[in-house]
Amino acid sequence: MQENKEFDLEKLQTWMQVVISHAGGIEAGIASEEAQREFEIAPDSLERIICRSNNLTSTERLGIYGNAYFARLLECLRESFPALAYALGDELFDEFSLEYLQRYPSQSYSLCELGGHFASHLQETRPDAEQRASGEIDWPDFLIDLATLEWNIEQVFDGPGTEGIPSLAIEQIEAVPPEQWSQMILRPGPSLRILEFQFPVNDYYTEFRQENKPEMPAPRPQYIALNRREYVVRRLEIEPLEYRLLERILCGNSLGDVIQRVAAEAEVPLEQFAELLQQWFQKWTTAQFFSSISSPQAETSID
Amino acid sequence: MVEPRLGHPNLGLGVGLRTVHFPYILEKHPPVDWFEIISENFIDSQGRPRHTLDQIAERYPIVMHGVSLSIGSTDPLDFQYLEKLKKLAGETDARWVSDHLCWTGVAGRNTHDLLPVPLNEDTLRHVCSRIETVQDYLQRPLVLENPSSYVTFAESTMSEWEFLTAMTEATECGLLLDVNNVYVSSVNHDFDPYEYLGHIPYDRVVQCHLAGHTHCGTHLIDTHDGKVIDPVWQLYREVHRGTGGISTLLEWDAQIPPFEVVHAEVLKAKLYMEENLPSDGPQTQGESTGEAVLPHPLHFVAPEVQ
Mutate to test the interface with A, among B68, B102, B112 (most CBs of A within 10 A): B112
Q: Is A80 on the interface with B (CB under 8 A)?
A: yes
Decide if A72 and B115 are in contact by the 8 Å CB cutoff: no
Residue count of chain B: 306
Average pLDDT, chain A: 91
pLDDT tens for B273-294 read: 855 444 444 454 555 544 556 6
Residue count of chain A: 303
Decide if B299 and A111 are in contact by the 8 Å CB cutoff: yes
- Minimal Cβ distance to A153: which of B43, B124, B303: B303
pLDDT tens for A112-165 read: 999 999 999 999 998 766 676 666 668 899 999 999 999 999 999 999 998 988
Look at the alpha carbons of A77, A78, A81, A86 in this order and tell me if their dihedral is positive or negative: positive
Does residue A272 surpass a pLDDT of 90?
A: no
B199 beta partners = none
pLDDT tens for B38-54 read: 999 999 999 999 999 99
Q: Is A94 on the interface with B (CB under 8 A)?
A: no
Q: With contact defined as beta carbons under 8 Å apart, do A25 and A68 qualify?
A: no
Q: Which pLDDT belongs to residue A174?
A: 87
- Minimal Cβ distance to B294: which of A7, A72, A160: A72
Q: Which pLDDT belongs to residue A303?
A: 46
- Minimal Cβ distance to B115: which of A7, A65, A109: A65
Q: Report H helices in chain B.
A: 22-28, 48-59, 79-92, 121-138, 160-171, 179-189, 193-198, 230-243, 259-267, 269-273
Measured distance between the N- and C-terminal CA atoms of chain A, rounded to whole angstroms: 65
Decide if A111 and B303 are in contact by the 8 Å CB cutoff: no
Look at the alpha carbons of A264, A267, A270, A273 in this order and tell me if their dihedral is positive or negative: negative
**Helix (H) or strand (E) segment spanning residue A188:** strand A185-188
Residue A164: CB atoms within 10 A of its CB come to: 7
Q: Is B58 on the interface with A (CB under 8 A)?
A: no
Per-window interface: B 251-290 vs A, CB < 8 A? none
Q: Which pLDDT belongs to residue A49?
A: 96
For the CA atoms of B33, B35, B36, B39, the dihedral, rounded to the nearest 10 degrees, stands at -150
Q: Which pLDDT belongs to residue A133?
A: 65
How many contacts does A have with B, using Cβ atoms within 8 A?
Answer: 175
Q: Which residue of B has its CA nearest to A49?
A: B154
pLDDT tens for A57-85 read: 999 999 999 999 999 999 999 999 999 99
Q: Is A210 on the interface with B (CB under 8 A)?
A: no
Q: Which pLDDT belongs to residue B6?
A: 86
Decide if B152 and A51 are in contact by the 8 Å CB cutoff: yes
User: Model pTM greater than 0.80?
Assistant: yes
Q: Is A58 on the interface with B (CB under 8 A)?
A: yes
Q: Is B191 on the interface with A (CB under 8 A)?
A: no
